[in-house]
Amino acid sequence: MFNRIMKRGPKKPSKSDDFGAPDGNPLPNAAGVVVNHASRGGAAPPAGAAAAPTMPPPSGTIEPLPPFRDVPVSERQTLFLRKLQNCCFLLDFSDTLKNVREKEIKRQTLMELVDFIQSGSGKITENCQEEMIKMISVNIFRCLPPASHENTGAENNDPEEEEPSMDAAWPHLQLVYELLLRYVVSSDTDTKVAKRYIDHSFVLKLLDLFGSEDPREREYLKTILHRIYGKFMVHRPFIRKAINNIFYRFIYETERHSGIGELLEILGSIINGFALPMKEEHKLFLVRALLPLHKPKSVGMYHQQLSYCILQFVEKDFKLADTVIRGLLKYWPVTNCQKEVLFLGELEEVLEATQAAEFQRCMVPLFRQISRCLNSSHFQVAERALFLWNNEHIVSLIAQNRTVVLPIIYEALEKNIKSHWNQAVHGLTVNVRKMFVEMDAELVEECQRQHAEREAKAHEVEQQRELNWKKLAEAAAQNGPLDMVTV
């Protein structure tokens, strides 16, 4: 599942796509264009000079730069630098009625840069690489707009119900991300050189962008960061630690972050590549970061990716099954039934990869929790818990340890058969009881006898309690009403 997600990657921008969304007041020197400074009496900037994002003067003639194919090979690096310099000018997309031409020219130039890198027509110089990363940084590293709940002040809104916010500047941002992706994956990119520009600071800023509410941007970031992790081995420990820190802040401080699912998708691939025996650092990551991610209310938004990561750990090292199951029990929801259904699904996947020794270590607290789920008044929770008996591996584990498991859940089974309101739950419970009868009829009879004794004893206690209250009432009636003492 994960490999299909990662291999698909973000959609490559099409040259025919309509990116002509216009911009606001700034009249920038858009990518692929040159401002004719002579018309204002100024001198033109030297070719190849790195341009900072500035507000261009309100007047001037804007002319596109020639395409790469129209200039000699010897001049293409210089033209590449000039195009990068012009792409450093930022356009305001908040006004759709202004500067349509400038935006289209920048879009066309960005597409030319993407094609130039992708075609591998020539290895770009170190200077060009440095200027390209500067241009990319100017365009993508920005203050993200406030989240929707921050605009409304409604902190209690369910993140799953919020509409994603789409960045109006995406027509240009998409091409900048595509350029960065093509640069990272290119066989011509020398990591020894590229790591000078794609450094820790650059990676941290990329990770900050995972907070974007635009799912298209997060999809590109996921693919790019995954490729950086694979290509730049020197950055691997740093990336893992930085992702850890994002998780810690999300779990213990904000409980708001748009990109947790995408970061977990990246980690799913990373965990899959962990060598055995597993390092203590990785086990701590499981205990301190992944398992606590079950705690936030919004776990449903990223539970599929989280469950995949957890399962990877258990499949890598079966001895971690006990740790994982106890972690799930620690964060088991009390009042959120939908989360309980998710937990039961994940629990089944983990149990399927669990061996007998690890199962025995945690089966008592595990089946106490399953017993509570069996008696849940929410039929989906009870039904999902009963579905565990449809799994052959889990049934075999239960059969091997039936003398411990059945006494824990027998009372819950009897209660469902007698009084559960949902017919489907009632029917499934009867089937589970039949399975235990087939496994060990004598054990079932013993559990039934003990259950009857407990019920009889409980009935006696209840009768004694009622008798005591009756005696107290009679004594009070005989003594008459007591005078109220006031202080």
With respect to residue 197, please indicate whether it lies within any of the assigned structural domains: no
Q: Does the pLDDT of residue 420 top 50, yes or no?
A: yes
- pLDDT range class, residue 198, cuts 50, 70, 90: very high
Q: Does the pLDDT of residue 48 top 80, yes or no?
A: no
Looking at the structure of the chain, the number of domains it has is: 1
* Bigger pLDDT: 59 vs 240: 240
Alpha helices in 145-249 (DSSP H): 148-152, 170-185, 191-194, 200-208, 215-231, 236-249
Mean pLDDT, residues 428-440 taken together? 96
Give me the pLDDT at residue 57, please.
34
With respect to residue 241, please indicate whether it lies within any of the assigned structural domains: no
**462 in helix, strand or coil?**
helix
Q: Does the pLDDT of residue 454 top 80, yes or no?
A: yes
Give me the pLDDT at residue 37, please.
37
**35 in helix, strand or coil?**
strand
With respect to residue 372, please indicate whether it lies within any of the assigned structural domains: yes
With respect to residue 390, please indicate whether it lies within any of the assigned structural domains: yes
Q: Please say whether the dihedral angle defined by the alpha carbons of residues 301, 307, 313 and 315, taken in this order, is positive or negative.
A: negative
Q: Does the pLDDT of residue 190 top 60, yes or no?
A: yes
Give me the pLDDT at residue 344, please.
97
Give me the pLDDT at residue 123, please.
78
Mean pLDDT, residues 13-26 taken together? 38
DSSP sequence for 226-295: HHHHHH-GGGHHHHHHHHHHHHHHIIIII---TTHHHHHHHHHHHHHT--SSPPHHHHHHIIIIIGGGGS
With respect to residue 103, please indicate whether it lies within any of the assigned structural domains: no
Condensed to tens digits (0 to 9), the pLDDT of residues 377-386 reads 999 999 999 9
Q: Does the pLDDT of residue 35 top 50, yes or no?
A: no
- pLDDT range class, residue 292, cuts 50, 70, 90: very high
Site of tokens 């203590």 = 280
With respect to residue 453, please indicate whether it lies within any of the assigned structural domains: yes
Task: Give residue 416's domain range.
Answer: 356-473
Q: Does the pLDDT of residue 322 top 90, yes or no?
A: yes
Q: Does the pLDDT of residue 136 top 80, yes or no?
A: yes
Q: Does the pLDDT of residue 92 top 60, yes or no?
A: yes
* Bigger pLDDT: 339 vs 101: 339
Q: Does the pLDDT of residue 129 top 90, yes or no?
A: yes
Give me the pLDDT at residue 102, please.
82
Q: Does the pLDDT of residue 89 top 90, yes or no?
A: no
Return d(Cα 259, Cα 302) in angstroms, integer. 9
Return d(Cα 366, Cα 134) in angstroms, integer. 54
Q: Does the pLDDT of residue 337 top 80, yes or no?
A: yes
With respect to residue 2, please indicate whether it lies within any of the assigned structural domains: no
Give me the pLDDT at residue 486, please.
52
Neighbours of 161 (CB within 10 A): 6
With respect to residue 388, please indicate whether it lies within any of the assigned structural domains: yes
Condensed to tens digits (0 to 9), the pLDDT of residues 139-162 reads 999 998 876 655 555 555 666 666
Share the mean pLDDT of the chain: 85
